[in-house]
Structure 1
Amino acid sequence: MTPLTYLVALVDGGGTVPPELGAVRRLVERGHAVTVLAEDCTEPDVRATGAVFRPWRQAPNRPDRRPENDLSRDWECGGPLRLLDRMIATRLVGPAAGYAADVRDAIVEARPDLVVCSMFALGAMVTAETAAIPFHVLMPNVYLLPAEGMPPLGLGLRPARGVVGRLRDRAFGGFIRRSWDTRGLAGLNRLRSQYGLIPLTTLWDQVHRAHRQLVMTSPGFDFPAAFPPPVRYVGPVLDDPVWAAKPWAPPPGDGPLVLVAMSSTFQDQTACLQRIADALGTLPVRALVTTGPALDPSALRAPANVTVVAAAPHREVLRHAAAVVTHGGHGTVMKSLAAGLPLVVMHHGRDQADNAVRVTARGAGLSVRRTASPAAIAASVRRILEVSSYRAGAARLGEVVRRDAGSDALIRELETVPGPAAPA
């Protein structure tokens, strides 16, 4: 195939970065030229793919993943509407003009055939649309936008059943859509007007203007729905982040190994991790807790059978593990299922309740409140280790995840580039 030129507008969403950069690495390996606009905290990860790193200059740019440099600080919000306001102001619409300006400058220099955008990078989509360069949107999650038949996101709901269920979805879904539009649509349309584009009817219409919305999960994991024509399921990317490439060996002993993997970003999870460690200390298991770059391992008191480290290569650890305790981030869930392991999910926010309900609906694990006591956590871990149906459910789902992760759907869609339209 003739080599193409790509410009990737990457917004650091924590666990979304490894799969998005996995897509970049695959493009580079196939001989394409890729420039990645990203935050300084992701520079080592970007350069490891072989792509050209270009920092955000006018858009937000975090130097590291420490909590004090987190723009959204969603753990402080205390309620869904405050969280929505914070996301609009710090992630989606507030910084959109900066993303648009940086992408405009990068387009002049890189002259890409295709712009590939993180879902938060609405401003990057505006600039690509103005320049008549086709753009794709990466979604390394379940499908996050409203769709007929999909339960409203963020609430951890199963698909609707019957009249009451459909009324539930209509009421909650309508309220959520209006809330996004009331807070963000006017600001986005002002930016579009500055770039000579027509106004949109809803906030998420900006994403729907993409040539492709690439959903980087297994359709067998997500719930079915009626999707817009640009939506394509392309399977998960199971790459570990660069910072997790540490030497690792299983801890000594004969008990089953339990991996504890919470968010790679700060979500005020220290107290939850401590209760998990205390719970595992009461069980005949070996436990490995990885805190990620946002937490210091020394913040936790570890029982004798619990090892706490900043990072470990999860794909290697999972080959030795019997179960996983996690916040329910999509990347951790996918890798755990690919290894055929049942999960205890203690969701903290974001899309995690929705990932948790997809796990429990398939019998691949349990969902436990993040505030659960050590005794309740221990009981849940003991249950998924002892009740064989959870491992069987995880194995069934894992077979689908591995199949879709091994397909060429992602690279095939990224290499399908339509011709340019007339400039706006």
Structure 2
Amino acid sequence: MVKILAYSSPAMGHLFPTSVLLTELRSRGHDVALRTLAAGVATGRDLGFATEAVDPRIEALPLDDWKATNPEDALRRAQGTFARRAEYEVDDLRKAIDEVSPDVVIVDANCWGAAAVAEASGLPWLSFWAFLPYLSSEATPPYGPGLPPLPGEAGRVRDAQLRPQLSAVFNEAMVGPLNRIREQVGVPPVGTADDYVLRPPLMLVATAEPFEYVHPDWPDKIQLIGACDFDPAPKEVPDWLAAIDRRIVLVSTSSEFQGDTDVALMALTALADEPVHVVVTFPAGVPAGITVPANATVLEFVPHSLVLDRAAAAITHGGMGTTQKALVRGVPVCVAPQGRDQFEVARRVEVAGAGTQLLAEDLTPDRLRDKVRQTMTMIEGARRVAAGFAASGGVAHGADLIERRLLGQG
């Protein structure tokens, strides 16, 4: 019997899509062990994985990029957190490997220390990407600010000029900290952020075309496996949701604090007189003293699939989890990106014709209302994206790749 050990970044938004892949592997008779955030241990055990929490010192280092004053500062803050966590991941994954004796190791792409240990172990291993890879591609705009694809010679010139500048920002933030960890573990240094991305023999990415751009120059080791949608919703619809007789707009905020509550609060105001019912979730905590209009329901948590199955549109901050959760159901999305990869997510929603984006500097109640109205007309684009997710083969394809390429089965 094959033993699989997965090491996840301490965030529900990373645990959930990873769990979809692990569930598929377990259904094939493989033993699955998981290391994840403490709040996710019960979820992992309920799914049948031998689950333990990561070293608590890792969770004690939260992302603080929401404090940044500009995108470069945000990137440095985020990568600095990953570097500090990596120091503790090294012994944490070594211990887990000793305890589990796995045949395959799956490492979250944000776990730099764990990736170095997996590489040094000599075991078959792969990286799992719950977010869009920042790997360079000559066929698309350089990663980061969410630039629109520009066809023809003008696009090639623009991208050729900007790509070295934007790559340098990633390299400056990543390469030094990465190599300090890699030297400590005893694996070769990397020269660029792209080098780090390409170290694993296999990369599984939780998205698919046409949401993700086409990258003909990416190697075959990079495989897109669809949305990896995870949402164990109860079988019964709650009475408050069943009683709603209008079109629903779901508004979601991040499960990790990112300062994105302003968008949700503005949505309550902007849509108060629209013929819709607004469902807003604040998983990081409902703000005190908010006024809830008659056509709205505000909750700390509700399984998003329950709402999205009845929704006409969603408003998200551009996190991959909720954005793709809507699109996999053919629900168009209005994205108000805050940082991280969210500008790239927002642009892909727009380019795919599956919704709209509204930047923070342009955010007003009137503009948000207009964007939501436009978004609700873009069902066909959302359905095309949903069809692309299905055509990717999903986690079954991902599990096939692990069995064939890393385990030599089939």
Partners of 1:262 and 1:326 within 8 A in 2? yes
Indicate if the aligned counterparts of 2:210 and 2:388 stay in contact, CA closer than 8 A: yes
Q: Deviations over 1:101-152 (max 9, x none)?
A: 1111211221111110111111111111211112111112333322221322
1:151 to 1:48, Cα distance in 2 relative to 1, 3 A: farther
**Does the Cα contact within 8 Å between 1:58 and 1:101 map onto a contact in 2?**
no
Q: CA separation in 2, counterparts of 1:285 and 1:217?
A: 30
Number of the residue aligned with 1:140? 130
The separation in 1 between residues aligned to 2:152 and 2:35, in whole angstroms, is 46
Aligned partner of 2:403 in structure 1 is 415
Relative to structure 1, the CA distance from residue 139 to residue 213 in structure 2 (aligned partners, 3 Å threshold; closer, same or farther) is: same
Residue in structure 2 matched with residue 218 of structure 1 by the alignment: 208
Distance 1:362 1:219, change over 3 A: closer
What's the CA shift for 1:406? 5.1
One-letter code of the match for 2:251? V
Shift of 1:359: 1.4
Over the matched positions of the two proteins, sequence identity in percent amounts to: 30
Counterpart of 1:36 in structure 2 is 34
> How far did residue 288 of structure 1 move?
0.9
Cross-structure match for 2:368: 377
- TM-score, length basis structure 2: 0.91
Task: Determine which of 79, 83, 96 is the counterpart of 2:86.
Answer: 96
8 Å CA contact 1:58–1:98 kept in 2: the answer is no
Which residue in 2 is equivalent to 1:126? 116
Matches of 1:78 and 1:241 in 2, distance apart?
37
Q: Is 1:114 paired with 2:113? A: no
Among 322, 329, 332, which residue is 1:339 paired with? 329
> Which residue of structure 2 aligns with residue 396 of structure 1?
384
SS in 2 for 1:257: strand
Q: 1:218 to 1:126 in 2, by over 3 A?
A: same
Instruction: Give the conservation status (yes or no) of the 8 Å contact 2:74–2:339.
Output: no
Seen in structure 2, the aligned counterparts of structure 1 residues 13 and 175 have a Cα distance that, compared at 3 Å, is farther
**Root mean square deviation, CA, Å:** 2.3
Q: Equivalent residue of 1:287, what SS?
A: strand
Counterparts of 1:245 and 1:8, CA distance in 2: 29
Within 5 A, what are the aligned runs for 1:228-267?
228-240=219-231, 248-249=238-239, 250=241, 252-267=243-258
| 1:254-301 per-position Cα deviation (integer Å, ceiling 9, x unaligned) | 321111122222111222211111111121111111112x12265532
Match of 1:157 among 147, 150, 157: 147
Of 48-57 and 76-85, more deviation after overlay is shown by 48-57
How far apart are residue 159 of structure 1 and its match? Answer: 2.6
Letter in 1 for 2:18: E
Say which SS state the counterpart of residue 283 (structure 1) adopts. coil
CA displacement at 1:220 relative to structure 2: 2.0
Q: Please state how far the C-alpha of 1:90 moved relative to its aligned partner.
A: 0.6
Task: Give, in whole Å, the separation in 1 of the partners of 2:394 and 2:265.
Answer: 36
Q: CA shift at 1:307, angstroms?
A: 0.4
CA contact (8 A) 2:8 2:14 kept: no
Instruction: Tell me if structure 2 keeps the 8 A contact 1:273–1:300.
Output: no
1:416 aligns to what SS in structure 2? Answer: helix
SS in 2 for 1:398: helix
Taking the aligned partners of 1:313 and 1:366, their CA distance within structure 2 comes to 23
Output one character per residue of 1:308-361: Cα deviation in whole Å (capped at 9) or x when no partner.
111112222212111111112212222212222222111111111111111111
SS in structure 2 of the partner of residue 16 of structure 1: helix
Q: State the distance in 2 between where 1:275 and 1:186 align.
A: 41
| Distance in 2 separating the partners of 1:409 and 1:362 | 23
SS of the residue 1:408 aligns to? helix
Instruction: Give the TM-score normalised by structure 1.
Output: 0.88
Any gaps of 5 or more consecutive residues in structure 2? none
Q: How does 1:231-380 map to 2 (within 5 A)?
A: 231-240=222-231, 248-249=238-239, 250=241, 252-292=243-283, 294-296=284-286, 298=288, 300-370=290-360, 372-380=363-371
1:48 aligns to what?
46
Conserved 8 A contact 2:11-2:37: no
Query: 1:365–1:190: structure 2 CA closer, same or farther, 3 Å change rule?
Result: closer
Looking at structure 2, the residues matched to 273 and 405 of structure 1 have their Cα atoms a distance apart, in angstroms, of 34
Q: 1-side partners of 2:292 and 2:126: how far apart?
A: 44
Residue in 2 aligned with 1:191?
A: 181
User: Aligned pairs, how many?
Assistant: 405
Please state how far the C-alpha of 1:410 moved relative to its aligned partner.
1.6
Which consecutive unaligned segments of at least 5 residues does structure 1 have?
63-69
Q: Paired residue for 1:66?
A: none
User: Structure 2: how far apart are the matches of 1:231 and 1:198?
Assistant: 21
